[in-house]
């Protein structure tokens, strides 16, 4: 076997999907176990490990062979996918750092591909769900596109051909033993992430990282070319564009949990401080115009609240952006999650929000509570120049609050030991508690809405998605207020 060329350049990155981009391995495992159970065979998760990454035919067929179980493979695979696809909308999540690394590779000028042994229906569903749809890749190769599955090199060679690059210029990111063997057989460099198998079983790769969040574009450029045992290895040469941009286009490694909370507290202090300053100026002007006495209810005046929000929101956004930028681990927009989202995914979550709003309003009516809180009605009555209130409710508040909560705070918690569940729960709770203008029921409603927004952020990886849904939620509340009061002004 010939040694890799000393002149090989890294120009493309090929991502495996299951276990690398998504946490789909436990999900397809559970679906397969359920399928076997329906057919009268009890199997355990460990039975599937030797066949991870080899495609669903081998994944299911290998277990059936182990038990000497007669299996209609076509029907079994179809039923397994039926179960799996039912679970995808609510149980499939992107691995933290996956979207960031894909984005960083694009920014560095690298071509990117997905090469998965799974059938296309599964690949498309997974990529759509995690906000990295088929159209966002330079190439997508599935198990249906090749005859020989991993550990054969065919799928990676097909990906390189579709990308228009030499196999020696590719880096593969894998999580499975079979995938690493396929990459090495294709004469490609390989980074392994220990998200499915323990690191000690992945040592055949050129580099092993605990998670995909620990992989950067700089890591890819530091890989050493594969070579036969005993012949040594040479450092690869990144393409010129990559060499220039790799340092800036690394995947996100956010602030630790304590700095995240501390910096978020500073943002909160700046936000409240600006609002108090605006309130002080307002109170001084109001007292001056009323003979030295403050008018009754001045503190809940809608115009005051609108101005205070419009002034303080840019400050909170600016500090949050600054703290994300100071981390020096890629652009602040990637840190915070300002990335696109697939239209189909956005439609799904919009319908979910509309369903939640409808259910919440129905419950509110059943409990005999006002759909529009008295605070909101008073703010609207005293808004003065209503467009300022609309600006505060529909633009300033959604952008600032989502950037702080589902952006900066969410990312820091997500990459800590608290993980996805902690990120969703904690950001939702803190976000709900700052809404002191509402009663306990109103705060609980905000908390539940925050849970939905957190799930959207986790599923799509996009802050644009949560900002839009926050805007939509406030728009609905504004329309309801107008309907209750019977006036636009």
Q: How far apart are CA 101 and CA 335, in angstroms?
A: 11
Neighbours of 425 (CB within 10 A): 16
The CA distance from 182 to 184, in Å, is 6
What are the CA-CA distances from residue 206 to residues 192, 244, 297, 398 (Å)? 8, 23, 68, 44
Phi, psi of 426 (to 5 degrees): -70, -45
Q: What secondary structure letter does DSSP report for 486?
A: T
DSSP labels for 289-309?
A: HTTT-PPTTGGG-HHHHHHHH
Q: How far apart are CA 269 and CA 488, in angstroms?
A: 34
Residues 301 and 350: their CA atoms lie apart, in Å, by 32
What is the full DSSP assignment across 32-71? HHHHHHHTT----GGGGGGGTTS-HHHHHHHHHHHTT---
Torsion of CA 144, 146, 151, 157, to 10 degrees: -130
- Pick the closest to residue 246 from 213, 225, 216, 281 (CA basis): 216
User: Structure tokens of 395?
Assistant: 């633009």
Catalytic residue among 16, 23, 169, 206: 16
Q: Taking the C-alpha atoms of 362, 365, 369 and 373 in order, what is their torsion angle to the nearest 10 degrees?
A: 60
Is residue 20 a contact partner of residue 175, using CB atoms and an 8 Å limit?
yes
| Nearest Cα residue to 251 out of 168, 184, 193 | 193
Q: How far apart are CA 128 and CA 370, in angstroms?
A: 39
Where does residue 284 rank: exposed (0-12), middle (13-18), buried (19+ CB within 10 A)? exposed
User: What is the DSSP secondary structure assignment for residue 2, as one 8-state letter?
Assistant: P
| 16 in active site | yes
Sort strands 111-115 and 12-15 into parallel, antiparallel or unpaired. parallel
In the residue annotation, 18 being an active-site residue is answered as: yes
Cβ–Cβ < 8 Å for 337, 411: yes
Which residue among 18, 169, 206, 334 is the active-site one? 18
Phi, psi angles (nearest 5°) of residue 227: -155, 160
Whole-angstrom Cα distance, residue 346 to residue 367? Answer: 31
Whether 107 contacts 248, CB under 8 Å? yes
- Write the CB contacts of 204 (distance below 8 Å, at least 6 apart in sequence): 177, 180, 181, 184, 190
282 vs 254: CA distance, rounded Å: 39
Catalytic residues: 16, 18
């Amino acid at each position: 076997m010939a040694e890799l060329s000393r002149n090989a350049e890294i120009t493309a990155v090929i991502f495996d999907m299951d276990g690398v981009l998504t946490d789909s391995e436990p999900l397809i495992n559970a679906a397969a176990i359920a399928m076997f159970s329906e057919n009268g065979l009890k199997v355990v998760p460990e039975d599937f490990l030797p066949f991870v990454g080899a495609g669903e035919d081998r994944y299911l067929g290998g277990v059936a062979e182990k038990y000497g179980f007669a299996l209609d493979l076509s029907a079994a695979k179809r039923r397994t996918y039926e179960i799996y696809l039912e679970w995808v909308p609510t149980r499939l999540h992107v691995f933290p750092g996956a979207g960031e690394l894909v984005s960083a590779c694009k920014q560095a000028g690298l071509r990117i591909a997905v090469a998965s042994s799974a059938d296309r229906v599964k690949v498309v569903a997974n990529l759509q769900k995690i906000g990295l749809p088929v159209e966002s890749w330079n190439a997508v190769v599935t198990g249906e596109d090749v005859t020989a599955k991993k550990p054969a090199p065919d799928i990676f060679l097909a990906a390189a051909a579709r990308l228009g690059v030499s196999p020696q210029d590719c880096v593969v990111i894998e999580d499975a033993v079979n995938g690493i063997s396929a990459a090495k057989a294709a004469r490609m460099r390989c980074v392994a992430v220990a998200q499915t198998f323990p690191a000690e079983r992945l040592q055949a790769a050129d580099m092993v990282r605990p998670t995909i969040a620990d992989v950067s574009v700089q890591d890819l450029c530091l890989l050493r070319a594969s070579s036969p045992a005993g012949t040594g290895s040479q450092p690869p040469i990144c393409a010129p564009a990559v060499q220039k941009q790799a340092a800036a286009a690394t995947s996100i490694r956010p602030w630790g949990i304590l700095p995240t909370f501390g910096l978020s507290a500073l943002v909160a202090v700046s936000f409240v401080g600006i609002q108090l300053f605006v309130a002080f100026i307002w109170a001084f002007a109001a007292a001056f115009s009323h003979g030295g006495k403050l008018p009754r209810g001045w503190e809940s005046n809608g115009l005051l609240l609108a101005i205070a929000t419009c002034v303080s929101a840019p400050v909170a956004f600016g500090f949050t952006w600054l703290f994300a930028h100071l981390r020096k681990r890629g652009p602040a927009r990637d840190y915070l999650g300002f990335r696109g989202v697939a239209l189909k995914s956005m439609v799904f979550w919009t319908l979910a929000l509309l369903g939640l709003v409808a259910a919440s309003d129905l419950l509110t009516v059943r409990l005999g509570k006002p759909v529009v809180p008295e605070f909101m009605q008073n703010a609207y009555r005293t808004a003065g120049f209503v467009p300022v209130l609309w600006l505060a409710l529909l633009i300033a508040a959604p952008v600032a609050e989502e950037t702080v909560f589902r952006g900066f705070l969410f990312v820091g918690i997500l990459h800590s030991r608290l993980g996805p569940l902690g990120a969703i729960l904690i950001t939702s709770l803190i976000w709900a508690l700052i809404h002191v203008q509402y009663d306990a029921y109103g705060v609980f409603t905000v908390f539940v809405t925050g849970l939905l927004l957190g799930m959207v952020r986790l599923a799509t990886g996009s802050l644009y998605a949560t900002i839009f849904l926050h805007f939509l939620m406030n728009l609905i509340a504004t329309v309801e207020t107008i309907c209750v009061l019977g006036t636009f002004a």
